[in-house]
């Protein structure tokens, strides 16, 4: 049993070659594109991937379409972003796990974030768990932004990591992307002030714990400053040197954008200006 890989792209000519070359262990690579205007399509076709395009509306719908609107060669799907690297060692662990654990339908694993040539072991909030290896017919995707994957079946966990290079497209791209993200997060925070299920804070599943932490976190005052001090001081991001310091500032700036946009929405709803 093997794995089909789906790469979601939008103007990823700087990342796509390295991403695909690291996936040499896979015999079914699908590039699902949002009508890129750079050479993303040419690169994908050069490497003989299967190439599809869909007009982007939101992240969850894009991933749903890439999962359910395409015939995949294998029942197991790995969702990949172009700025990520999944090497042979991690691939071997994935294949071994899905062959030996027939009752598991989704696997969670960790990532290593890199910035200025350094793994941000402390300042990135490591370990961050994600579950993007799953059986096609068992998965449900929630949230339009920072999607959440849930499964009707049993959860499993991997020991390995994938590598994430979020700044490969430059700071302009990072700020542009997080400007879009922060708008979507602010709207979601305002529209969906969900009741906090505190018992999930002690859940064995990292996705449920993370959801509760985020619900509490978004209700805290001075959140941008708290984000910086949490990552830089409490999580010892200072050990990551200049890369850690700058990254913590960037994370705080992202939280500041969200905070201001929530405030903007609240004031506009009652007829006040900014």
pTM given for the model:
0.85
Taking only Cα atoms into account, the Rg of the chain, rounded to an integer number of angstroms, comes to 19
| pLDDT tens digits in sequence order for the chain, 274 residues long | 589 999 999 999 999 999 999 999 999 999 999 999 999 999 999 999 999 999 998 888 899 999 999 999 999 999 999 999 999 999 999 999 999 888 899 999 999 999 999 999 999 999 989 999 999 988 877 766 666 777 878 999 999 999 999 999 999 999 999 999 999 888 887 876 666 666 776 677 766 776 777 777 767 778 899 899 999 999 999 999 999 999 999 999 999 999 899 889 988 887 777 7
d(CA 73, CA 199): 40
- Output the CA–CA distances (angstroms, integers) from residue 114 to 50, 59, 246, in the order listed: 29, 23, 12
**63-102 in b/e burial notation, b at 16+ Cβ within 10 A?**
bebbbeebebebbbbbbbbbbbbbeeebbeebeebbeeee
Phi-psi region of 266 (alpha: psi -120 to 50; beta: other; left: phi over 0): alpha
Per-residue pLDDT of 16-61, as tens digits, reads 999 999 999 999 999 999 999 999 999 999 999 999 999 998 888 8
Domain boundaries defined on the chain: 3-164, 171-269
- CA–CA dist 142, 125 (Å, integer): 23
Instruction: For domain 3-164, give the CATH number.
Output: 3.90.550.10
d(CA 217, CA 61): 26
180-201 pLDDT per residue, tens: 999 988 888 787 666 666 677 6
> Which DSSP category does 135 fall into?
E
């Amino acid at each position: 049993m093997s794995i089909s890989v789906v790469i979601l792209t939008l103007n990823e000519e700087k990342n796509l070659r390295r991403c695909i070359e690291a996936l040499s262990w896979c015999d079914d690579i699908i590039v699902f594109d949002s009508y890129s205007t750079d050479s993303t399509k040419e690169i994908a076709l050069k490497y003989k991937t299967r190439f599809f395009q869909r007009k982007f509306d939101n992240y969850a719908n894009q991933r749903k379409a890439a999962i359910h609107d395409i015939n995949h060669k294998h029942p197991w799907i790995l969702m990949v972003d172009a700025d990520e690297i999944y090497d042979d060692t991690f691939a071997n662990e994935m294949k071994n796990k899905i062959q030996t654990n027939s009752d598991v339908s989704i696997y969670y694993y960790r990532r290593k974030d890199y910035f200025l040539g350094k793994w941000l072991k402390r300042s990135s909030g490591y370990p961050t768990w994600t579950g993007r290896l799953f059986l096609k017919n068992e998965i449900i995707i929630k949230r339009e932004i920072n999607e959440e994957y849930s499964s009707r079946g049993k959860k499993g966990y991997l020991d390995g990591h994938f590598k994430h290079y979020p700044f490969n497209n430059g700071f302009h791209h990072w700020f542009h992307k997080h400007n879009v993200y922060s708008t979507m997060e602010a709207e979601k925070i305002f529209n969906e002030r969900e009741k906090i299920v505190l018992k999930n804070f002690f859940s064995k599943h990292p996705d449920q714990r993370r959801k509760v932490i985020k619900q509490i976190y978004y209700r805290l005052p001075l959140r941008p400053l708290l984000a910086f001090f949490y990552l830089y001081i409490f999580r010892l991001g200072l050990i990551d040197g200049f890369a850690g310091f700058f990254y913590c500032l960037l994370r705080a700036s992202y939280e500041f954008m969200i905070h201001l946009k929530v405030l903007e929405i609240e004031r506009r709803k009652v007829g006040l200006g900014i």
